[in-house]
Structure 1
Amino acid sequence: MKSLIVADPELINTMNTRDFHLFVDRTAWKSGDPLNDRSLFQLMGDEWKAMRSVISPTFSSGKMRAMHPLIIDCVHRLDQYLETKAINGDELDVKRAMGNLTMDVIASCAFGTQIDTHNDHKTNAFVENAMKLFRFNWFLWVFALLLMMLPDSMREWFGFSLMSATGGKFFRSAINEITARRRADPNCGQYRDYLQLMINAQNRNADNSEDQDIDDLNEHIFGTTDSKDSLKPKQPMKAQITDNDMLATSLLFFIAGYETTATLLQFLLYSLSVNEKCQQRLYEEINAFDGNYSYESIARMPYLEACIAETLRLYNPLHVTFRIAAQDYKLGDTEIIVPKGTLVVFDIQSLHHSPEYYPNPEVWDPERFLPSNRDRLVPYTYMPFGTGPRNCVGMRFALMEAKTAVAHLITKYRFKRTANTAVPLKYKKFKIILTSEVIYLGIEKR
């Protein structure tokens, strides 16, 4: 397959907005595994549009606000774990701690399952099987690349999946069991987790409509939400959710939401620990809310938002996003013709680290994203959640989770650099998501 790398903001804008209909699909290959092929990430064309139009309302601000108490409960369990660390004077493996938090959050918000990864991570079946989904190695990815060169029929015959067979089997069984139990429960409407929202959307017998959004998402920084015009299929379609769709989408929510948000939180706490003045400024902003960290409150903390935005710029979890050209395409004002079927790679890494758009790009500086400086941001040079109609559907959820966790933790604890804190950080190879070696931080109660 031919590929083209694009790192020009104007071209990225054009290809992801005006000409989005020519670059809808992410990939053109199927594995034969419905947990992979029926996920929102893999779906193509009108099937993707129909599914996205059903799933998007489940991530509205109203739905996220209903889930917010579930996240607070998870943060409180993390708080108990950190308090023990602080009292004992132990160093904190921040990657493990934040991974435990996001695992708790996904279990609660996606599957309605309460776990305590801080204490029972070695014995809990959910955690054990979840971790199997993330045990990638270089051999697996080389094999996957080789399979991509085969015709669709041969790939489907192989039935290859990047996820663990036992892990996939466990989650299929778990989700089927939960949904069967919910459907038999006349009071299932009490649940506020994502799986219940999917059941509602499938049954069409409960409220899953777009509710009125509050002003909780800074679109000037993170991008716009879905455009209804971009989600109109060429031909009218009934957006019906099958059991496989529900399984695939719920599992994608877990895979996409676990490690990415944990990565954001660990790099943010690391950055605050080596920038004490920034940590103090953030503490003062959050502390002014006097313990009111409601869904609405965390949306009104500009320095917190700037810290998160800058962390996603400097430590962007995914270095690229990509699309498939649906037809021959003339590239901007050039004479270059992009052939149909070309893999177009949008280079997030180069843009986020370009001195042309971000002076001193390797320096963590939240000031870049404060309201007074936002007019200096060049559109389509910042894409932590992708861009255009096919950006990350869970963006609002990820930001809510990160803001809630940091607001609670920074007011109670001070994170410090220790002799074991690696500066600069060292990164692992052969990882899809930016992954560092273990980050150790000191922690003390304020």
Structure 2
Amino acid sequence: MLSLLSWFFPNALVVFAFIFISIYFYIQHNLSYWKRKGVPSPPTHWLFGNFKDAILGRMSAGNLLGKLHKEAGDEPFIGLYVMHKPFFLMRDPELVKQVFVKDFQVFQNRYFAAVKSKDLIASTGLFSINNPEWKYLRMKLSPVFSSGKQKKLFSLMIESSENMRKFLGDQLNENEKVQNVDAYIVSIRYITDVISSLAYGVRTNSFGQDQEFFNRSREPFKKSLIASIVLFVIFFFPVISNFIVLFHTNILGSSTNYFRNLFWDVMNQRERSGNKRGDSIDPLLEIKHERDKLDFDIPDDTLLAQPVIFSIAGTESSSITIAQTLVELAKNPVLQDQVRKNIKEELKEHGFTYEGIKEMKLLYQAISETLRLYPPAPIIDRVALQDYKIPGTDIVVEKGTAVYAALNGLHEDPRFYKEPLKYDPDRFSEERKGDITPCAYIPFGIGPRACIGERVGMLQTAVGLATILRDYEVALNPLYKNGLDPKAIFIEPLDGVKIDFKKISK
């Protein structure tokens, strides 16, 4: 026995030492990927790479990418690691334009959608679906967001904003004030009613008594640890996303059948009547009739995925933009008065009309500045479909590598903006907007895969803000924590947006 033990322990130590040394060199090899390519890279953690704070839940991926962007000096690009997986972050606007626009044929698809999830509703919306399905869906759905359709949708925006106006008016106290209102939730209710018609072809009133549509539409935004982990994995490790599906229901959760039934009820009714109303249902009906002739599959849940993504993306982006614009104007009463004056002057000349809203230049400047500092989706990602040589260098981004632009990095980069953290709507004035470096401001993305709903989003945001600011002075409530959730992948208030509203005397 003693002889056996005397043989085992020395040899076991040799085996363990060999395994340890092998793992060490394996890690060192993986984390030297960018160095071997001549790409600058910040210091890395042996296990977490550059994403320790995001993986441990201390900071969102978007904020972390923005932080890494800001710390990289004058480098046009840097190499990063999520765990040991290499990613490429672009910091030069010209390179961003080259990759996302000029060389779109190489970067057609988003990285996080590289593998189709079992949850088709989440993974095959226009935002995430791959080519050639993306190109076909984009072509079919683009007319819904045309200027002509915007004008038709405008009357619904007015109706929805009047519901919001009445809601605030009903809460006025004897001092003509409405205090401690969560402007974020109020904005969500207003935008939900606009988007429900555009996306699903149904009329709703989220300020009324029937709250079912509104409540169910919030299902994708329920917070949980599992949901956060799933979202992180989908964005950065899409290949393994299907292995965690057992721990997470699909994007609509318990409301999946509600929206399926609603969608198909509207689709079938529209098909029987033959009426066209200019919403997303019309082109989706065309797709339903054409899909047997296509070279790719468009399942029923992919049809449903389109209004779902319009609803999710459109509601959140416009709502947070309205809320954060109110926050910034509440901080600066002088600027708030200037914006209100601009609103009232155009209302006096044009009335509350499409043309009148479009003439509210200072209001649009304020919205644009809010989107600079608070881009709702702070990450733009693509995946290389083939090896790609960075123009002007010998560096090759290998096929399958994810490339990123961090919007809160670009938008707050002192190379492109003087006093980048200052809220200054005048940056977007006619006199100064030409000074903005092209592709250093891209809140709606850039290139063929830029946000399809940009114009609708800007218009509904302007209508909502004009409705509030013409009637009320806004101030921050003392309970407002003045912050965004640092752990949320998309821009989101930490604890609501608490605003006090004071009725303006006529």
| Pair in the same fold by TM > 0.5 | yes
Q: CA deviation at 1:44?
A: 1.2
Verify the 8 A CA contact 1:31 1:161 in the aligned structure 2: no
Q: 1:11 to 1:254 in 2, by over 3 A?
A: same
- Greater gyration radius: 2
Distance 2:97 2:467 in 1: 37
Write the mapping of 1:347-358 to structure 2, written as runs, cut at 5 A.
347-358=406-417
Q: Provide closer, same or farther for how the CA distance between residues 329 and 192 of structure 1 changes in structure 2, counting only shifts above 3 A.
A: closer
Note the C-alpha offset of 1:298.
1.7
SS in 2 for 1:371: coil
- In structure 2, how many angstroms separate the alpha carbons of the residues matched to 1:237 and 1:179? 20
Task: Letter of the 1:198 partner, please give it.
Answer: L
Shift of residue 199, structure 1, vs aligned partner: 3.1
Report the aligned-residue RMSD. 2.6
Q: Percent identity over the alignment?
A: 26
Residue of structure 2 equivalent to 1:178? 266
Is 1:282 the equivalent of 2:368? no
The verdict on how the C-alpha distance between 1:161 and 1:337 changes in structure 2, with shifts beyond 3 A counting, is farther
Q: Is the 8 A contact 2:230 2:241 kept in 1?
A: no
**SS in structure 2 of the partner of residue 407 of structure 1:** helix
Other structure's SS at 1:321 match: strand
Q: Structure 1 residue 2 and structure 2 residue 86: aligned?
A: yes
Say which of 329, 332, 335 aligns to 1:272: 329
Residue 207 (structure 2) aligns with: 118
- For residues 312-344 of structure 1, what are the alpha-carbon distances to aligned partners after superposition, in whole Å with 9 as ceiling and x for unaligned? 001111221100011111112222211100011
Which residue is equivalent to 1:440? 498
Could you tell me how far apart the structure 2 residues matched to 1:427 and 1:177 are?
Answer: 38
Secondary structure of the equivalent of 2:386?
coil
- Among 122, 126, 129, the residue aligned to 1:40: 126
Q: Once the 2 structures are TM-superposed, how far is the Cα of residue 430 of structure 1 from its aligned partner? A: 3.1
Partner of 2:366: 307
Q: What CA deviation, in whole Å up to 9, does each residue of 1:81-116 have, x standing for no partner?
A: 111233453312111111111122222332233333
Give the alignment partner of residue 351 of structure 2, picking from 292, 313, 318. 292
Cα deviation for residue 359 of structure 1 reads: 1.4
Separation in 1 of the partners of 2:231 and 2:499?
Answer: 36
Aligned to 2:254: 166
1:195 is the counterpart of 2:281: yes
Q: Give the letter for the 1:139 counterpart.
A: I
Task: Give the structure-1-normalised TM-score.
Answer: 0.85
Cα contact 1:40–1:52 (8 A) shared by 2: yes
- Equivalent position amino acid for 1:165 in 2: G
How far, CA to CA, are the matches of 2:238 and 2:438 in structure 1?
A: 38
Q: Are the counterparts in 2 of residues 416 and 442 from structure 1 also a CA contact under 8 Å?
A: yes
Shift of 1:379: 0.3
Query: Amino acid of the residue matched to residue 437 of structure 2?
Result: V
* Structure 2 counterpart of 1:134: 221
- Equivalent-residue separation in structure 1 for 2:242 and 2:322 (angstroms): 41
Q: Indicate the SS of the match to 1:398.
A: helix
Q: 2-side partners of 1:162 and 1:385: how far apart?
A: 26
Classify 1:132/1:57 alpha carbon distance in 2 versus 1 (closer, same or farther; 3 Å): same
Distance change >3 Å, CA 164–CA 354, structure 1 → 2: same
1:75 matched to 2:134? The reply is no
| AA at the equivalent of 1:37 | S
**Matched residues in 1 for 2:202 and 2:432: separation?**
42
Aligned to 2:72: none
1:17 maps to which residue?
A: 101
Structure 1 position 414 matched with structure 2 position 473: yes
Q: Secondary structure at the match of 1:323?
A: strand
Q: Which runs of 5+ in 1 are unaligned?
A: 205-235
Alignment of 1:378-393 (within 5 A): 378-393=437-452
Match of 1:244, SS?
A: helix
Q: Please say if 1:370 is aligned against 2:429.
A: yes
Q: Distance in 2 between matches of 1:426 and 1:149?
A: 29
Instruction: Look up the match of 1:107.
Output: 196
Contact 1:421–1:440 (Cα < 8 Å) also in 2: yes
Distance 1:157 1:305, change over 3 A: closer
Counterpart contact for 2:118–2:242, Cα < 8 Å: no
Aligned to 2:178: 90
Which string of whole-angstrom CA distances, capped at 9 and with x for unpartnered residues, describes residues 358-396 of structure 1?
211111110100111012110000010011110001111
Give a deviation string over 1:280-338, Cα, whole Å, max 9, x none. 11111111121623222222222111100000001111221100011111112222211
Map Cα deviations across residues 123-158 of structure 1 (whole Å, 9 max, x no partner): 622122211111133322324555775757965986
d(CA) in 1 for partners of 2:286, 2:501? 43
Partner of 2:71: none
Compared with structure 1, are the counterparts of its residues 169 and 181 closer, same or farther at alpha carbon in structure 2 (3 Å cutoff)?
same
For 1:223-372, list aligned pairs within 5 A: 243-289=300-346, 290=348, 292-372=351-431
Contact conserved, 2:168 with 2:178, CA < 8 A, in 1? no
CA contact (8 A) 1:137 1:430 kept: no
Amino acid at match of 2:104: F
Q: Could you tell me whether the CA contact under 8 Å between 2:167 and 2:207 is conserved in 1?
A: yes
User: What is the number of equivalent residue pairs in this alignment?
Assistant: 409
- Aligned counterparts of 1:146 and 1:409: Cα–Cα separation in 2: 39
Give yes or no for contact 1:144–1:162 (8 Å, CA) kept in 2: no
